[in-house]
Amino acid sequence: MSKPAAKPACPNFSSGPCAKHPGYSVDKLTLDTLGRSHRSAVGKSTLKKAIDKSKEILGLPEDYRLGIVPASDTGAVEMFLWSALGERPVDVCFWESFGQGWMTDIVKQLKLENVTQFKAEYGELPDLSQTNPDHDIVFTWNGTTSGVRVANADWISDDRKGLTICDATSACFAMELPWEKLDVVTYSWQKVLGGEGGHGVIILSPRAVERLENFDAGRPLPKIFRMTKGGALIEGIFTGATINTPSMLAVADYVDALEWAESEGGVAGLIKRSEANAGVIADFVAKHDWIDFLAKSDDINSTTSVCLTLKLEGDQVKALIKLLADEDAAYDIGAYRDAPSGLRIWCGATVETSDLEALMPWLEWAYKEVK
């Protein structure tokens, strides 16, 4: 097979930081905050704009809070785990490395004892219906390293006593999230919106706020984890007064990404783009017997972090990935280091469908080259 004639215009298929949105240019950013204090009027107003626009585009309930926090999605998850777990038993659901990491933190670092683990191997989901609505439940919506997402939230009780704590970093802005079922949601804007890394976002329901204000875990908390003072929520975190100094360049970049999302029709438009992208890979997989999804069924197959297995040995997969990178056809598409050998191709909304269409012949060519 000869080399394909056309290459993707943008070969950036990394699962984080992800491709910048179409038409992106640093020159288009509003940079009046650079060199200014984040506590200045312009700094606080820009941070508030990022918060308000995020809430509006996501369609959050009026009484949900959204705040910008340090240390990406990891920081957002950790600050709530350390601040609020321990009041009641905890169910931890995991089927890939990040979910397993939350379990490790809960058991080995927080040293909570009344913890039930619901585990599945890569490509599968545990039986989420077995979780207890009286417990706090920690889970990822979309397993970024496994390409497996929850099919729906029907398993979450409307009458639950515990909190649902959802790491949704590769799902927010790309998948429908039933906010009434979710008490804590975290994401980083470096994923679906293609923003710059380093900052996280935490979303709290009124029930989550109540927990923070009324439960004292009795453990030391670093300053960057503290969301309450004197038994009350620090409201400034959710109106633009960040806990520590954010990168105002990254914030300007995020605002630009949010404005692009609005121009694409908001979450509905971004979902449509992601699903079209994932559909390109699904069509290709259906026509070739040497490639398959890591996910065991279509209903749990991710539309953002699409993970694939190949009928190749591990060293051959590495050779294929290097070959595509050397040809400038695809960058950063290797499976996550803890996942089974294979590919992970980001299909989020910032990726153009035409680039994925151009990539597919290159996948076939590279496969035949290394085979």
Mean pLDDT, 10 residues at a time, the chain of 371 residues: 96 98 98 97 97 98 98 98 98 97 97 98 98 98 98 98 98 98 98 97 98 96 96 97 97 98 98 98 98 97 98 98 98 96 98 98 98 94
Please determine, looking at this structure, whether the domain spanning 28-262 carries the CATH number 3.40.50.80.
no
Find where tokens 């207890």 sit: 132
User: Residue 19: what pLDDT?
Assistant: 98
Give every CB contact of residue 55 below 8 A, 6+ residues apart in sequence.
64, 66
User: Residue 304: what pLDDT?
Assistant: 98
Backbone angles phi, psi at 368, to 5 degrees: -70, -30
User: Residue 204: what pLDDT?
Assistant: 99
Sheet bearing 199-204, strands edge to edge: 65-70, 199-204, 184-187, 164-167, 136-140, 90-94, 115-119
User: Residue 118: what pLDDT?
Assistant: 98
Distances in Å between the alpha carbon of 219 and those of 65, 83, 102, 109, 214?
A: 24, 8, 18, 11, 15
Give every CB contact of residue 229 below 8 A, 6+ residues apart in sequence.
none
Q: What topology does CATH give the domain 266-370?
A: Aspartate Aminotransferase, domain 1 (3.90.1150)
User: Residue 362: what pLDDT?
Assistant: 98
Q: Could you please report the per-residue DSSP string of 276-295? A: HHHHHHHHHHHH-TTEEESS
Angle (CA) 184-168-347 rounded to 5° is 165
Q: What does the block give as tokens for 234?
A: 């620090």
Element (H, E) at 202: strand 199-204
Q: Which residues pair with 94 in a beta bridge?
A: 119
Q: What is the pTM of this model?
A: 0.98
User: Residue 267: what pLDDT?
Assistant: 98
Give every CB contact of residue 235 below 8 A, 6+ residues apart in sequence.
none
Domain with CATH 3.90.1150.10 in the chain: 266-370
In contact, 179 and 64? CB cutoff 8 Å: yes
Q: What does the block give as tokens for 177?
A: 């999230």
Domain with CATH 3.40.640.10 in the chain: 28-262
